[in-house]
Amino acid sequence: MTDTILVVNAGSSSIKFQLFTVGAGDRLERMIKGQVDGIGTRPRLFAVTAQRTILADETWAPAEVGTIPAALDKVIAFLRPQIGGRLPGAVGHRVVHGGPHYANPVVVTTGILSELEKLTPLAPLHQPNNLAPIRTILERRPHLLQVACFDTAFHRGHPELADRYAIPESLYAEGVRRYGFHGLSYEYIARQLPKVAPEIAGGRVVVAHLGSGASMCAIAGGKSVESTMGFTAMDGLPMGTRPGQLDPGVVLYLLSEKKMDAPSIQDFLYKDCGLKGISGISNDVRDLLASRDPQARFALDYFTYRIVLFTGMLAAAMGGIDAFVFTAGVGENAPAIREAVIRRLEWLGLELSTQANRKNAICISRKGARVPCFVIPTDEELMIATHTLRVARERQYVGLQEKRA
């Protein structure tokens, strides 16, 4: 029996992790939540229980935890005493890009890992970091079940009209198409809607996943039909440091007139644009909301303006809109952003309850609004654990304890 599942979400300088126990009826219960951040600079492990009791707050010298594998070692060393000295029964990983071939969670082998590494150019900031802990575990604990869960998978049912670019067929066949991202978040929201708002769960819903990375999704009948993100996780909404929708001619201009090479442009577009670039102050919405600088206000106005524009596009894709959902860090915790968006969408039938919005209520609409608005916290980690457990059960997998000499 797989009695614990470790969920790993690795970034360039951090590993976020959560440990779930598997109870009766395969009910997943969150046991521990934590992260190692500042890898290579100021490494720190911080972890809490599901009740927010602090379990660990430890720091090390930069050289001691200078890589993702070293950080993963610290995570495993911390977790093992919490689960009786054993390894987790299985490990589920967030992997941003599944490309054209992976539409479902998959057990990772060395062959599949090699295929996923080929997708790095499509998600250069995310893919290598997502795959680093998978590679480490494959090398050190090859019999430990690892499941890759893809941010692109939820969108794979799009009609071809939504997935195509106006480019030659040969490029589409190679995989140059619109994929969409944040799929684990949207899948979780789609599953929550029948519990939170059953009256609209089967309808036409626009979901805004607003965080440092931001996108929006049109969900009709519980299925994704359109997304603001495309071939890479750079398209659509402006984000913390990514520009969002951008005329390809801008890239050509940077090449020809600014004499930038491809790696420099990639670095620029992923790290120096978005809210950081337009404000000149910060990539963090909290900083911008607290600032009195006119450029901070302009950056936020631009952010909400683009959200409103894409709402119209997504509603058009579904032939209408029955509800709007905010989720993720900004969507769940920034009433001012939600208010700015809803005020601009009153023509579409959205009406704000100022009091409910300030309280971060689940429903923030005025009573009787034609298009109700909700704030639903996302839980990508629970979604990953759910998929990992399902795969384990389908394979009749039994968690392996470490073999002792």
Whichever domain contains 301, its CATH number is 3.30.420.40
**Residue 163 annotated in active site:** no
15 and 94 together in one domain: yes
* Domain annotation covers residue 298: yes
100 and 242 together in one domain: no
* Domain annotation covers residue 172: no
For residue 245, give the nearest of 255, 233, 254, 253 by alpha carbon.
233
* Domain annotation covers residue 177: no
220 and 268 together in one domain: yes
Write down the H helix ranges in 155-229: 160-163, 169-174, 183-196
For residue 68, give the nearest of 127, 152, 11, 150 by alpha carbon.
11
133 and 217 together in one domain: no
226 and 134 together in one domain: no
Instruction: Find the mean pLDDT for residues 34-59.
Output: 93
118 and 209 together in one domain: no
390 and 357 together in one domain: no
Q: Which CA distances in Å does 372 have to 324, 361, 362, 363, 402?
A: 6, 13, 11, 7, 51
Tell whether the model's pLDDT for residue 12 goes beyond 80: no
Say how many domains are in the chain.
Answer: 2
> Which pLDDT belongs to residue 395?
78
146 and 261 together in one domain: no
* Domain annotation covers residue 183: no
Question: Amino acid identity of 77?
Answer: A
> Which pLDDT belongs to residue 259?
97
342 and 387 together in one domain: no
Tell whether the model's pLDDT for residue 402 goes beyond 80: no
Domain hosting 205: range is: 197-371
Mean pLDDT of the chain: 93
Instruction: Find the mean pLDDT for residues 20-24.
Output: 92
Tell whether the model's pLDDT for residue 56 goes beyond 60: yes
Instruction: Find the mean pLDDT for residues 23-39.
Output: 92
140 and 204 together in one domain: no
Tell whether the model's pLDDT for residue 97 goes beyond 70: yes
Q: Tell me the residue ranges of DSSP E strands in 15-112.
A: 15-22, 28-37, 44-49, 54-59, 90-95, 106-107
* Domain annotation covers residue 30: yes
Residue from 3, 26, 57, 151 carrying the catalytic annotation = 151
Tell whether the model's pLDDT for residue 385 goes beyond 80: yes
Tell whether the model's pLDDT for residue 401 goes beyond 80: no
Per-residue model confidence as pLDDT tens digits over 319-369: 999 999 999 999 999 999 999 999 999 999 999 999 999 999 999 999 999
Per-residue model confidence as pLDDT tens digits over 180-233: 999 999 999 999 999 999 999 999 999 999 999 999 999 999 999 999 999 999
Per-residue model confidence as pLDDT tens digits over 79-93: 999 998 888 999 999
pTM of the full structure = 0.92
Instruction: Find the mean pLDDT for residues 3-28.
Output: 91
* Domain annotation covers residue 60: yes
CB 351 within 8 A of CB 401: no
* Domain annotation covers residue 191: no
136 and 15 together in one domain: yes
To the nearest whole percent, how much of the chain has pLDDT over 70? 97
* Domain annotation covers residue 184: no
365 and 388 together in one domain: no
Q: Which CA distances in Å does 188 have to 140, 192, 310?
A: 32, 6, 21
> What's the CA gap between 254 and 272, in Å, rounded?
14
> What's the CA gap between 148 and 293, in Å, rounded?
43
